[in-house]
């Protein structure tokens, strides 16, 4: 399952690091605790919409831009998941590939 908060955390973290800012600096600007922000970046906590807006403001990046990046990252994971399922089907079918085996991807 592709989880929004994990990819959101990765995008927020990479934006912060591009700007050469520490977690501590960003937390001061966004008025969020260091521990909470760290958990958000690691995808362990959900950020409320208000907090997400505050983080975007502290990063000086529009929310739409962050969401667009997250959408792209999610699309990549979705595609990779389809590929894994397809290769799983291939390996169940095996080398004979007679087409009679119906494999469950679940």
**Identified binder of a second copy from the candidate list 52, 58, 59, 61, rule CB under 8 A:** 52
Segment near a second copy (CB under 8 A), from 4-12, 17-25, 31-39, 98-106? Answer: 4-12
Q: Based on the shown chain and the rule CB under 8 A, indicate whether residue 89 belongs to the binding site for a second copy.
A: no
Q: Based on the shown chain and the rule CB under 8 A, indicate whether residue 5 belongs to the binding site for a second copy.
A: yes
Full 3-state SS string of 20-70: CCCHHHHHHHHCCCHHHHHHHHCCCCCCCHHHHHHHHHHHCCCHHHHHHHH
Q: Based on the shown chain and the rule CB under 8 A, indicate whether residue 53 belongs to the binding site for a second copy.
A: yes
């Amino acid at each position: 399952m592709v989880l929004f908060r994990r990819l959101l955390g990765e995008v927020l973290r990479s934006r912060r690091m591009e700007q050469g800012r520490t977690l501590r600096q960003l937390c001061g600007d966004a008025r969020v605790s260091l521990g909470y922000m760290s958990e958000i970046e690691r995808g362990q906590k959900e950020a409320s919409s208000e907090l997400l807006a505050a983080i975007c403001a502290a990063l000086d990046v529009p929310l739409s831009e962050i969401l667009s990046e997250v959408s792209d990252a999610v699309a990549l994971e979705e595609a990779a998941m389809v590929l894994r399922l397809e290769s799983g089907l291939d390996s169940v079918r095996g080398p004979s590939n007679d087409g009679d085996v119906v494999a469950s991807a679940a």
